[in-house]
């Protein structure tokens, strides 16, 4: 009897992993119908007979972006919202522009691993592991042509400490990897997180928390 229950437990575990994994492609493509009111995990497909080349196309990624903001950076996203043909394909990319001393602040991508290559300038980049193992920081100075990987779901950042502009291209393992900027989420939540909770969590006085919550937490993702 014990062996029977063990078998059923292992079968259930294997089945849960199978169900949790992404399904394989069952067709050549599934161009997202961004105007559909049907709610699914991702986007419903539009009729493949109505697909056109523009559904797989994005232009202008060679153009420098405006970095004249408080962060001194600009992230141009190219995901399924810009290229509907990316739907179900599990990939996207972005262009990152940095003014001198510009930063892409600590953030996570909850649904994708990121691989970045520097096209111009120098970037100081890094990511932090989860609480176990010990919130370890992995950091590197990247020059033109260097590549660095940020594992899915881990806090990471990019900083241009050079005196010239920097540009990078990053690819992500999701059609819609999502972005959670840590400071924005913690201090700019709507409605706000209790200042008592934040004061206790960050070991700050409530006045400091209230001041932080009153700031404008900008989003540099476009």
Phi, psi of 93 (to 5 degrees): -150, 175
Q: Is residue 22 a contact partner of residue 90, using CB atoms and an 8 Å limit?
A: yes
The partner residues of 127 in beta bridges, in order of sequence, read: 138, 156
The partner residues of 53 in beta bridges, in order of sequence, read: none
What is the Cα–Cα distance from 174 to 190, expressed in whole angstroms? Answer: 27
156 is in an annotated binding site: yes
Count CB atoms within 10 A of the CB of residue 187.
20
Q: Is residue 106 a contact partner of residue 155, using CB atoms and an 8 Å limit?
A: yes
CB within 8 A of 170, min separation 6: which ones?
A: 93, 94, 96, 114, 115, 116, 117
Q: Is residue 127 a contact partner of residue 138, using CB atoms and an 8 Å limit?
A: yes
114 is in an annotated binding site: yes
124 is in an annotated binding site: no
Output the known binding site for Mn(2+).
Answer: 107, 109, 114, 156
Output the known binding site.
Answer: 104, 107, 109, 114, 156
Output the known binding site for oxalate.
Answer: 104, 109, 114
């Amino acid at each position: 009897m014990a062996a029977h229950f063990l078998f059923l437990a292992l079968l259930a575990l294997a089945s849960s992993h199978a169900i949790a994994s992404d399904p394989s492609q069952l067709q050549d493509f599934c161009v997202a119908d961004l105007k559909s009111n049907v709610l699914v995990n991702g986007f419903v497909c539009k009729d493949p007979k109505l697909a056109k080349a523009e559904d797989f196309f994005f232009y202008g990624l060679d153009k420098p972006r405006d970095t004249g903001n408080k962060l001194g950076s600009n992230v141009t996203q190219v995901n399924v919202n810009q290229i509907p043909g990316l739907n179900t394909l599990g990939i996207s990319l972005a262009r990152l522009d940095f003014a001198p001393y510009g930063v892409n602040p600590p953030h996570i991508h909850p649904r994708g691993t990121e691989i970045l290559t520097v096209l111009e300038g120098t970037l100081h980049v890094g990511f932090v592991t989860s609480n176990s193992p010990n919130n370890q920081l992995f950091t590197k100075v990247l020059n033109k042509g260097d590549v660095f990987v940020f594992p899915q779901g881990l806090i990471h950042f990019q900083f241009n400490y050079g005196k010239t502009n920097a540009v990078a291209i990053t690819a992500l393992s999701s059609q819609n990897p999502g972005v959670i900027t840590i400071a924005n989420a913690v201090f700019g939540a709507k409605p706000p997180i209790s200042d008592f909770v934040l004061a206790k969590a960050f070991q700050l006085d409530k006045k400091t928390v209230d001041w932080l919550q009153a700031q404008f937490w900008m989003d540099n993702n476009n």
